């Protein structure tokens, strides 16, 4: 009985607990000067909320990237049935926040040595990926890894890959942490992860996220 209860608790604290099938339909509107960057570092509910707390970020969209299948769904990705990872598209003001800043946020907000998992979420769909869209972005990512590698006891497992395509996730995933504050996973995993990030880079936070 104790083992059965433990399995239920683990399931409730997993990013895989939702299985709705509706598709993304809401249009994305951002200022004309917005740049966009793409990252994957575990459950996108957490990653989206982290980047949306950063000053200079206009909008963050949860979705799927890094794989080859067209139009993947959450059910397919979250159960490892595609080669995609849960990822985010970060729309930001390059006059306020640089790509290098976003890379700093990326490494301050997850364990880059963890292979094919973050926290309770296991599988290649939760792997660490930093996408680049040009050689400068690739150099920035590689240089940052070189600068922090000495502080880890294990090799950094982040995949550095050229960006190809991003598929927005279903509508109910967008702003999931904000819209579902009582979700067991959000309370047990996302909020502690967000708070750890805030304690590491408080100078990057929007004013209303500093408390």
Please check the confidence at residue 3 and state whether its pLDDT lies above 50. Answer: no
> What's the pLDDT score for residue 136?
98
Please check the confidence at residue 47 and state whether its pLDDT lies above 90. Answer: yes
Going by C-alpha positions, the residue among 178, 168, 205 that lies closest to residue 63 is 168
User: For the segment 58-105, what is each residue's pLDDT rounded down to a tens digit?
Assistant: 999 999 999 999 999 999 999 999 999 999 999 999 999 999 999 999
Question: Among the options 37, 43, 54, 102, which is catalytic?
Answer: 43
This prediction's pTM: 0.89
What is the rounded CA–CA span in Å between residue 46 and residue 175?
A: 10
> What's the pLDDT score for residue 145?
98
CATH code assigned to 30-179+189-209: 3.30.1060.10
> What's the pLDDT score for residue 57?
98
The mean pLDDT value for 24-38 works out to 80
> What's the pLDDT score for residue 176?
96
Please check the confidence at residue 8 and state whether its pLDDT lies above 70. Answer: no
What is the number of residues in the chain?
Answer: 211
Please check the confidence at residue 18 and state whether its pLDDT lies above 60. Answer: no
Please check the confidence at residue 140 and state whether its pLDDT lies above 60. Answer: yes
What are the sequence ranges of the domains in the chain?
30-179+189-209
What is the rounded CA–CA span in Å between residue 13 and residue 55?
A: 29
> What's the pLDDT score for residue 10?
43
> What's the pLDDT score for residue 1?
43
User: For the segment 142-195, what is each residue's pLDDT rounded down to a tens digit?
Assistant: 999 999 999 999 999 999 999 999 999 999 999 999 999 999 999 999 999 999
Joined tokens for residue 16: 């895989």
* Band of pLDDT at residue 9, cut at 50, 70 and 90: very low
**Is 46 noted as a catalytic residue in this protein?**
no
117-121 contacts, C-beta under 8 A, 24 or more apart? 117/42, 118/41, 118/42, 118/43, 118/46, 119/42, 119/43, 119/189, 119/193, 120/10, 120/13, 120/14, 120/189, 121/14, 121/15, 121/16, 121/42, 121/43
């Amino acid at each position: 009985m104790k083992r059965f209860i433990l399995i239920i608790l683990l399931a409730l604290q997993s990013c895989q607990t939702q299985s709705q099938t509706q598709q993304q339909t809401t249009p994305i509107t951002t200022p004309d000067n917005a740049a966009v960057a793409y990252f994957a570092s575990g459950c996108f509910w957490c990653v989206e909320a982290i980047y949306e707390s950063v000053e200079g970020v206009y909008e963050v969209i949860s979705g799927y990237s890094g794989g080859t299948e067209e139009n993947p769904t959450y059910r397919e990705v979250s159960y490892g049935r595609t080669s995609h990872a849960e990822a985010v598209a970060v729309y930001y003001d390059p006059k306020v926040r640089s790509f290098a800043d976003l890379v700093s946020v990326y490494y301050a907000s997850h364990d880059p040595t963890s292979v094919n998992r973050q926290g309770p979420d296991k599988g290649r769909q939760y792997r660490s990926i930093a996408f680049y869209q040009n050689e400068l972005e690739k150099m920035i990512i590689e240089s940052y890894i070189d600068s922090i590698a000495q502080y880890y006891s294990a090799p950094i497992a982040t995949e550095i890959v050229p960006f190809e395509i991003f598929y927005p996730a279903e509508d109910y995933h967008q702003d999931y942490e904000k819209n579902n504050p009582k979700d067991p996973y959000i309370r047990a995993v996302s909020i502690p992860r967000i708070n750890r990030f805030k304690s590491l880079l408080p100078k990057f936070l929007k004013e209303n996220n500093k408390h």
